[in-house]
Structures are given as structure tokens and as C-alpha cells.
Structure 1
Amino acid sequence: MGVKTVFEFRLKEVDEELGKEEINLTSLKSVCFHGIPDEQGRRSLCWRLMLNYLPCSKASWSKILTKKRKLYGQFIDEMIGMPGPENINDNSRVDVTFDDHPLSLNPESEWQTYFKDNDVLLQIDKDVRRLCPDISFFQQPTDYPCQDVVNSGGTKRLHRRVQHSFLNSANVERKGLGITKIALAVKKATEDYAPMEEGSEAHWEVVERILFLYAKLNPGQGYVQGMNEIIGPIYYSFATDPNPEWREFAEADCFFCFTNLMSEIRDFFIKTLDDAESGIKRLMARLSAELKLHDPPVFQRLQQQDLHIQYYSFRWLTLLLSQEFPLPDVLRIWDSLFADEKRFSFLISICCAMIIVLRDQLLASDFPTNVKMLQNFPPMDIQVVLSKAAELAGHQSEKLIR
């Protein structure tokens, strides 16, 4: 079967599932696992369904979407901006005789919360300004800026709250939770992620707002570095939907889909749950066991070199491979991950396949070369990796298409 014919066949399969008034989620996942043809926004719609944002009954979509998007608007209205009366702006005088004011030491002070939030916001601001630097998308203006923010006179522009001239600390308080350090690949953008002029905003500014609201609404976890890499592909998929009716609400829909995804992988980001069944240490142990099962010589070679699995797989697993491949490949990988009925078991198979496809180089190279190769996975046709992963997991590899 030719590539074009396979593509058309897969397109027909997806359309048949999406065309039903009552969508069978199991059947949809079975089709999406082998790749979603990204035509007319099919991927973003399938992701909304597989991330449990949209219900299976199409008849309830309108009501659910209206309710969720209105709720997100309320979050912006209540949580973005400065404390105090609505008429306070950057040039206003604040009456410090009020019970709550910027110099208040009261731990329940809204101003105290505001300044603590800025410490978290500073880290978010730094992280979103380096999202997917190999493409210019996040530096570009969105067609649908949040009017409540861009017309606020600057009082609700988050990046203004954390300009370096006003903040001296970049520490993020995590209350004992979250990753102590995550080795992110450092990539430099060819252009600066500059804020847009009043009346418009860049895509990275939208992502910054989503992450800030998520941190505010989840104080037990807050924001942890790396979440920006998780939300990036979701927002990109939604904000590039060719259907303007879906694209207009990419921000709100992305927020809820990201929240749902984080509820499933939050244990990856919580140190106290590292040893839990769903914790990151247990995932790395499963990967090690799968490598030992499927390729004992490579497993033994890495053991002999003391090249421990956490040296390279910690980032792979925690960030769902979002740092290891170009964005188009990440989107394809996530089609399978979101469709995985065993929820991220296939992630282990992909990571194992990544090691096995490098077996000749790994067996022939020394420790420094191998650790560098695994920490900076070489460019490769993602189809090769996915086909090998499907073979390891027992799926029909020939069905895995782009």
C-alpha cells in the first residue's frame, strides 16, 4: 500500500470515528494510536477527546464548551492583575491606610500573595520565552488576544510584573514538591521572544498566562520547570487549527486539556512520589527491565559502563519526549501516547526503542560518547523509532504512519 493510499485510508478511519454522534472513545483511540492525519484540525479535536475535555456525545459539546470557556474567563478576571480597587494602575497612588496595602506584613494580605506569585511567575516567564526555539510560532502574535488583558493598560500583562529591574529573586517555592533539577536541553532562539505592543500579544504570552493560572489553581504543586515543555505542543496544535471556531478558544481549551494531562502525570513532578507505582523512579525501573528483556547485550554494556538509566531517561519520561525530537515528531508521538489505553505504557516502549535503534553505536562506543548520544538523541526518522516501539509492545508496526 503506497504512502498516499495509507494516508487516505487513515484519514477515512479517523473521519468515520469523528462523524458519529456518539463517539466510541476506545475505537477512536485505536485509530489515533497509529497516527492522526493532521488535516482540517483533526488532531486538535482528537486530542480534546482523548484528554477527556470533550465528552463522547456531540450533542453536549456546545453546552460543555460554553461553560468551560466562561469559567476560564472568570479565572482571568479574578486572578490576573494587581490587588486593590479596579482603578489602580501603574501610575496611581495607593492609600496605605487601607487594611491591605503593598507594605502590609499580614500573611493573608493580597499584596503578599501578589509578590509571592511574582517569584513563580519569573520562572514561568523565563521558560516560556524559550519554547520551541527552532520554530518562530511562539514569537508570533495570536489572532485572538485576550481583550481583557491587552486592553487593560498594561495592568494585566504578566511579563510586566517580572521585569528584572523589579525582581531580584528567581527562586520558585515548591514546598518540598517537584523536581529539584531537570536537565533541559538548552536551545537558543534566533530571535528574542519580545512582548507585543498594546492591543496584541504573542503566543508565548498566552502560554505564560495559562501556566500562571494553573499554578494559582494548584497551590499544592504549583509550577515546576518542564511544564512549559508539556503545554507547548498542546497549545501549538490548538492554536494552529485551521478551523477559526476552534482556534479562537485555543487558550481556554488548552488550559483544561493541560490540566487533565497533568492530573495523569503529576506524579512525575512530585519528589515525594518518586517511588510510587506512578512515580518517575518506578517508570525508569520499568524501562530498565524492558531493555534487559529485549536487548540484553546493550543492557549489559550500559551496566558495565555505569551508565545509569537516570542519566538520560529522566528527562525523556518526565517531559514525554518533548525535548528529544522536533515538534512535528513530538506531535506524532503524542498521538500514540494519548491514545494508549494503558496510559503511557507505550512511552516505556518508545524509550526502549530509542536505545535499541542505537545498539551498534552503543556497543562500540565508550562511556562519554554513549552518555552524550543518549542525552542528545541524534536526528532520526521518527517512523523507525515508533515501528520498533510497536514491535516491542506487540502492536502491528506496519500500521504506524506519520
Structure 2
Amino acid sequence: MTGDMITVMQITERPTSLHVLDPSTFDDENCLVVRTPDVTSVQSDATSVSSQSTSGADELSDKDEGSSSCDESVADPKELASIPEKLRNECATILSATPEQFALEHDMILKDQKDQQDDGAVAIARGRAMFNSRASSASLFSVNLGKMRTMRLFFSNPENTSGQLVIATHDSHYKILHFHHGGLDKLAQLFEQWSAIKARSVKEGSPSPAPDRHLLICQPAVKKNELDPEDGLFERVHWDYWKTFKNAEGAIHDSQTIRKALYFASMEPNLRKEIWPFLLRVYPWESTVEQRETIRNDLFLEYQNIKRKRLKKAVSSKHWDGLENTVVKDVVRTDRKNPFFAGDENPNVDMMRDILLNYAAMYPDVGYIQGMSDLLAPLLSTLKDESEVYWCFVGLMQQTLFSKSSESLMEQNLEYLRELIKLLVPEVFSYLWQLGGDSLQFMFVHRWILLFFKREFAESDALHIWEACWARYRTQYFHLFVCVAIVSIYGPDIISQKLPHDEILLYFSSLANHMDARVVLKKARGLLHHFVNREKIPCSLAGVVESSGMSQWDSHKKLQAYECVKKHGDDEPCPYA
């Protein structure tokens, strides 16, 4: 960093020597200088990357598109029949590009990235797909920070050492630099010193620009009064604790308490193979070991019948050939960094393909929709047994938007989300309402909801979110409170920077894999706690909290009161207020 100039080198190999650029080589009139380093200074046997400008949040690329408004009227059969195809097309676009790909499509990206397209390609031959990665080229990125609109630092770990730096120009072009292994705190200190010096120079008459809030540092945290009072009281569920809930026959005698513990603290990874089938409703909680063995055998035989029927169906059908090709292309692009799915000729990839095809054959009204492979992959790598994975996947699909009535489910989720943000984060809702257009369609949350945040967090954190949702503690819509928590923590910056709709999409997309899941979950649990303890809630949110008997000692509490906030039918009285 020289004066106002920051220089970042992106290389695929470690250089043998450090070259310092003469500050005179930079033109003060140009706010962006991009040069290519001398290739002779790069040694061929090293494999280190100093900084990357791509987020790695996604592997597929499409544009986002809006969702239709909610219609409470009864649709005719033709409309219902078209729902799966509409959802299929929408999912193919919602599971969108990386932040840099989105910015490239909207001409919002800095020059040195425009020559870097997809990081890989898929080749298909004889029904089998192979994923070919491309090496990124070395480049030198230099920018005059004094002429930038904003610099935003987002810390993503409790130690405040890792995260991302987002540099924005005045004409809405962005550079995103990710710090995966620390060092961002040191850069923050350097920037704060630079910002202070810059501010003093302006006071002393320097013409160098220093806009208000030029440097923004985001350190997400949750205040004590925002937490659920029981947060931190539970330990992660382990084998000894789990066994205390089983009676002599192996039945779980208190599923409410175990689900509450999973909601607050998740479980040891080696327990997932045993507990997930309960959470996904393959086995009833009260079933004995003997009953579960009978269920397991029956489901295995049924799954073998499904496979045989699918193989017969695939003999001669153009529609099925197209569906199979889509599945083949998607499975080889799913979780490529997971060793369980790595390499060509991997039988686990074939197993994923077979499960998806069997599901499509069993549920032809749904078929296969892009994104299903993302949800299946963690189940398969954790449970490993094909039959058990299939039935857990069926249970998971019943809890997601991938079902026959998915379009109406998405609208219902978005309507609940609008009302929750309006109630719990009113300043963000008000800003989006003022923007108008499609802002209140909350395009940036569609992928969060469809994929249960799998592409927004590291897998270990995403699975904790999944388990908290599957526990169904107080609500079956906990995923919406996670959405509200993200908006509450990271949303104020869109207001302070007065970001337009397109930049809001890019802003939230750029947070993928760089948010602090621990903070987000604490915030989400706190939001749910405060929501269920409100004196009154809007009647538009009457279906969010379910009375399931989870709080068996809360008989002294008053029944939830509602206030009417919308018109019901033809001037009919509110059924809740």
C-alpha cells in the first residue's frame, strides 16, 4: 500500500522473490491500474494463492428472476399442472451465479475479472459426465482507494481475523477480496490509520476526497438482551446424552427435550446417522429397535421395487432421456470438493444419480428440479446407505419447497418473510418499500430458502441450521427466522450506502460462505423467542408459530393474542383477532 494506492497480486504459484513497484508507475489520474506480473518470477513447483477475488459460493450460473404475487384464490387444474414446470424453470435461475458472475452480467465488475469466466466445464459422453477445472491466470490488481466510493470489511469469524474486503467505485463496480486464513484484522488497522490520516488531510485543505463513511467495518454480534434466555445452556448432543432418552426397548421417551437440545446445540457428527432418520420422519420417535428394524427391511424392499420400475420406464422415453441428462450434469458439479464425491468413476456419484432418478420416477409430478442434488449430497455422504438415504431424502423433500404445490409454498414463505421483516426489522423493510419495483420480492432470499442455506455457509454450519430447522422447536418456519437474522445483522449497510435493488442482490450474494453462522443462529433463536413472547402478533403471521405442546410447563402463559392487519374476504371478521 503506497499512499492511497493498494496493490494485490493474485497468482496460482508462489513467487521466488518480492518485486516492489515504483509508486511513479501509477497514474494519479487513473483510479484503476491492472498489470500482469513477470512470469519469470514465478516458480513452477509451488502452489499457493495470495488472494482470490471469487467467492466460490456457487458452481452454477443463471440470473435471478422474480416470483409472482400471492393469490389466495383456488387455481384451476391447468394452472396446478403447470406449477412443477414453473418451479423447475425458476429454480434453474434462482440457484444463481457467484457474486462475481452476477456482477459481470450487470457490468458491475472491475476490469481484471472480465476475462475470467466459469472455473470449470462439464463434458458428457455415453451418459457419464466429467468435470474439468480451469486454472486461473495470474494478475495484478491496483486501485486508488482515495477515489473509491466505499471500502467495507466484513469479519466472518469470532476472532475477527477472517472475512472479506469489498471495494466499490462510484459507478458501482466491485472487487471482493476474501481472507480465509486471517490477516483481515491487520488490514483493518492499516485502513483505520489511513482513514484517520486522510480525514486530517481534508481538514487541512487537501483536495483529496474523503466521503462520509468511506471505510465501514462490520463486526456482527448479538446483544445479550437479544438472545434467547436459554441460549448457551445446552451442550452438543453426544452418545451418552442420547442414550439417556432411550428406554429398554430402544424407544425415545422424550422427543421434545432432545429436539430442543438439537435446536440449541446440534449434535456430534457421528450421531447423525442415527438421529437424522428420526428428524426426517423415517422412523417414529416412539418406535422400538425391533420396530425400526422391520421398517428398515420393508423400506429396503420397497426401494428395490422403485429401482426396477424406474429402469423399465427409462427404456424408451425422450422426456426421460432429457431428465436423465440433466441429473447427470448436475451430480458431477455437486460438492466437488468433498472427498466423498471426488474423482471420475466415483460410485458415490453414481449412487447420487440413481437416488435422484428413482425419486423422479416415484414422483413424476415433481420430477427433478435443479438444487435437489445439493440437498441430497450431505445426506448421502453422512448416511451412505442408498435405501436409507433415499427415504430420508423423501422426508426432506416434504419439508422443503420441492413438492407438487411448491409455487404456492414459495409465495407463502415469502409472504411470511415480508411480514416478519416488517415486524422485526422495520427499518430495512421501509427502505425496500421505498425502493419499490421488485424489492419486496426479496429476490436475494430465494436461494436461501430453496437450499436451506447450503451455499451460504460452510457445510458444518449449514448442517447445524438444517438440524435446528428439522427439530421443529416452536415453529416449522425457523428457516425464515434465519433469513430475518441475516437481514437484521447485515442489512443496515444497504441503508447507509443507499444501495439500489441490483446492488442489494450482489451485496447479499457476496456474503455467501463469509457469514458467522454462530452469530446468525443466536440472532435467529433470539428473534423467535421474542416473537412468541409478544403480547400481540399480526394476524398475517398466525400460522408461523405452532402450538405443539413443546412447552409442557407453560400452562400459566396466556394464549397468543392477535391483531388484525389485513382485510379478510368480503369484509369478513378476522378469524384470529
- Alignment-derived partner of residue 379 in structure 2: 234
Verify: 1:124 aligned to 2:327, yes or no.
yes
Amino acid at match of 1:43: R
Aligned residue number for residue 294 of structure 2: 63
Tell me which of 480, 489, 509 is aligned to 1:348.
480
After superposition, where does 1:45-64 map in structure 2 within 5 Å? 45-55=274-284, 56-58=286-288, 59-64=290-295
1:351 Cα deviation from its structure 2 partner = 0.5
Report the more deviating stretch, 217-226 or 54-63.
54-63
The residue number in structure 2 matching 1:75 is: 306
> Over aligned residues, Cα RMSD in angstroms?
2.8
Given the superposition, is the C-alpha separation of residues 395 and 327 from structure 1 closer, same or farther in structure 2, using an over 3 Å criterion? farther
Indicate conservation of the 8 Å contact 1:316/1:351, yes or no.
yes
Measured in 1, the distance between the counterparts of 2:333 and 2:476 equals 26
Structure 1, 326-335 or 341-350: larger mean CA deviation: 341-350
What are the residue-to-residue correspondences of 1:259-298 with 2, within 5 Å?
259-266=394-401, 268=402, 270=404, 274-275=407-408, 279-298=409-428
**1:137, distance to aligned residue in structure 2 (A):** 2.5
The aligned counterpart of 1:112 is 316
Distance in 2, matches of 1:214 and 1:342, equals 30
Match of 1:320 among 433, 439, 452: 452
Aligned in 2, Cα 1:289/1:210: closer, same or farther, shift over 3 Å?
Answer: same
Q: Is the 8 A contact 2:428 2:495 kept in 1?
A: yes
Whole-angstrom distance in 1 between the partners of 2:327 and 2:420: 35
Determine which of 302, 309, 329 is the counterpart of 2:461: 329
- The equivalent position to 2:369 in structure 1, one of 192, 199, 224, is 224
Aligned residues: 292
CA distance in 2, matches of 1:5, 1:357: 23
- Tell me the equivalent position of 1:338: 470
Unaligned segments of structure 2, at least 5 residues: 1-231, 532-577
- State the partner residue of 1:94: none
- Structure 1 vs Structure 2: percent identity of aligned residues? 21
Match of 1:245 in 2: none
For residue 66 of structure 1, report the CA deviation from its aligned partner: 1.6
Between 1 and 2, higher relative CO (CA 8 Å, sep ≥ 6) is seen in: 1
Match of 1:394 among 522, 526, 529: 529
- Residue 43 (structure 1) aligns with: 272
Asked if 2 retains the 8 angstrom alpha-carbon contact of 1:29 and 1:341, the reply is yes
Note if contact 2:397-2:403 (Cα within 8 Å) is conserved in structure 1: no
2:518 aligned with 1:383: yes
Change (3 A) 1:351 1:43: same
Structure 1 residues 205 and 264: CA distance shift in structure 2, 3 A:
same
SS at the partner of 1:394?
A: helix
Measured at CA, do residues 338 and 255 of structure 1 come closer, stay the same or move farther in structure 2, by a change above 3 Å? same
Which deviates the most, 54-63 or 19-28?
A: 19-28
- The secondary structure found in structure 1 opposite 2:244 is helix
SS of the residue corresponding to residue 308 of structure 1 reads: helix
Given the two structures, how large is their TM-score scaled by the length of structure 1? Answer: 0.66
Pairs within 5 Å for 1:244-255: 250-255=385-390
TM-score for the superposition, normalised by structure 2: 0.47
Quote the residue 1:373 is aligned against: 507
Provide the rounded CA distance (Å) in 1 between the counterparts of 2:476 and 2:378: 17
8 Å CA contact retained: 2:379, 2:393 = yes
- C-alpha spacing 1:251/1:110, structure 2 compared with 1 (3 Å): closer
Higher CA-based Rg: 2
Is the contact between residue 14 and residue 32 of structure 1 (CA under 8 Å) also seen in structure 2? no
Tell whether the 8 Å contact from 1:215 to 1:223 is kept in structure 2 after alignment: yes
Q: Is the 8 A contact 1:224 1:269 kept in 2?
A: no
Return the alpha-carbon distance in structure 1 between the equivalents of residues 247 and 483 of structure 2: 34
CA distance in 2, matches of 1:110, 1:132: 27
2:314–2:320: 8 Å Cα contact kept in structure 1? no
One-letter identity of the residue aligned with 1:50: L
The 2-side partners of 1:336 and 1:19 are apart by 25
Deviation at 1:363, TM superposition (A): 2.1
Asked if the contact 2:236–2:261 (Cα under 8 Å) also holds between the matched residues in 1, the reply is no
Consecutive unaligned residues of structure 1, counting only runs of 5 or more, are 84-108, 140-192, 240-249, 397-402
CA distance in 1, matches of 2:280, 2:247: 19
Q: Counterpart of 1:211 in 2: which secondary structure?
A: helix
Amino acid at match of 1:35: A
Deviation at 1:5, TM superposition (A): 10
Alignment-derived partner of residue 259 in structure 2: 29
Distance 1:130 1:395 in 2: 41
